[in-house]
Amino acid sequence: MIFITAKFRVLPEHADRWPEITAEFTEATRAEPGCLWFDWSRSLDDPTEYVLVEAFRDDEAGAAHVGSDHFRKARQTLPPHLAETPRIVNTTVPQNDWSELGEMAVPSHD
């Protein structure tokens, strides 16, 4: 899978509305057949920073995402709300889902 983490620094006046601002893009991306997940989180230390964790099935799915109409639209509509160019880590991982964090295994609650 293609695993991507990106940090978005949002202008302070738009930070509280970022989930609303990105809602259409987020919903359309999650509906892509090759999208495994597309999840936003807000920093606990900096309320203007959002982290996007996303994964796509393979290179073909990643290319389809970047070539989609909603991605092209987001390239136009999202930057005016940002304080700087987002930073990204993009890698290919030989798995297709999250693995368990064995060092923090939780016993069964059965």
Q: In the numeric block, which tokens belong to residue 40? A: 């936003």
**Considering the domain boundaries, does residue 41 fall inside one?**
yes
pTM of the model: 0.92
Q: What is the CATH number of the domain that holds 22?
A: 3.30.70.100
**Considering the domain boundaries, does residue 29 fall inside one?**
yes
Query: What's the pLDDT score for residue 110?
Result: 82
What is the count of structural domains for the chain?
Answer: 1
Digit-coded pLDDT (tens) for 65-88 = 999 999 999 999 999 999 999 999
Q: What is the CA radius of gyration of the chain?
A: 16
Q: Structural domain of residue 84, as residue ranges?
A: 2-93
**Considering the domain boundaries, does residue 35 fall inside one?**
yes
Digit-coded pLDDT (tens) for 25-61 = 999 999 999 999 999 999 999 999 999 999 999 999 9
**Considering the domain boundaries, does residue 110 fall inside one?**
no
**Considering the domain boundaries, does residue 99 fall inside one?**
no
Indicate the average pLDDT of the chain: 97
Digit-coded pLDDT (tens) for 7-27 = 999 999 999 999 999 999 999
Check if the beta carbon of residue 65 is closer than 8 Å to that of residue 35: yes
Task: Of 6, 18, 2, give the one whose Cα is nearest residue 87.
Answer: 6
